[in-house]
Amino acid sequence: MSGTPERVAIITGGSGGIGRVCAQRLAADGFAVVIHYAGHRDRAEQTVREIRESGGHALAGHGDVADEHDMAALFTLAQTEFGGIDVLVHTAGIMPLSPIAQLDLGVLDEVLRTNVRGTFVVDQLAARHLREGGAIINFSTSVTRLQIPGYAAYTASKGAVEAVTLILARELRGRDITVNTIAPGPTATPLFFEGKSREQIDGIAAANPMARLGTPEDTAEAVSFLAGPARWVNGQVLYVNGGAA
């Protein structure tokens, strides 16, 4: 790698289906990308290699998104290697499903720790360290509006993410840093397919006005927009779901 890139992005959950494609898209847009991973080092490092082979700047960093020390080290890595941070794309999260009556409260604690505390941790660091003209892009889900049984713990955590986003956008008044949340609909990723029959998957796709599932590329398009030209979009929840309710 040569030269210093003008803009730098951290992508949490960058080894996952949506996070990986978002990292690739921002690298294609000219960003240096720091690809965070928790448990899939091989996939993160493969993405780094692919970006570098295409002439981009990338590196991988490990850590627990809910651990402030791990994430502080990740932000320090980005600043040390690339000179600063402009964009945070916070895709990391977990989605165990269970009806409320059968929900293991230990699982609920884990969901809230990763999805809610994790958002507070990385958003706090971003608020402290992003340069002027930056963007914080959190992730929620369109399921908050679809009321699908079994998703209560997950959607409760993502409702909290939306609240954090709306307030942080106003707390950063005068900093020229936008804060938004993307709420994808059903998206063709390994996480979505897990535990679903072909009949269920086909039914979900057919119910969408676009008659298909979303793709990680659909979501990455919205991330690219919010990370780049969308300077007048702030404090919003953007539903990227093909028209699902």
**For the purposes of burial, counting CB atoms within 10 Å of the CB of 165, is it exposed (0-12), middle (13-18) or buried (19 or more)?**
buried
Six-digit token pair at 1?
């790698």
Tell how strand 32-37 and strand 58-62 pair up. Answer: parallel
Transcribe 107-148 into DSSP letters: HHHHHIIIIIIHHHHHHHHHHHHPPTT-EEEEE--THHHH--
Buried b / exposed e along 71-98 (16+ C-beta atoms within 10 A): bbebbebbeeebebbbbbbbbbbbbeeb
> Cα-flanking dihedrals φ and ψ of residue 39, to 5°?
-130, 5
**Catalytic annotation present for 154:** yes
Helix (H) or strand (E) holding 92: none
* Residue among 37, 151, 154, 239 flagged as catalytic: 154
Residues 183, 51, 213: CA angle, nearest 5 degrees? 30
Q: How many CA atoms lie within 13 A of 24 on its CB side?
A: 21
Closest among 11, 27, 15, 169 to 88, alpha carbons compared: 11
Catalytic residues: 154
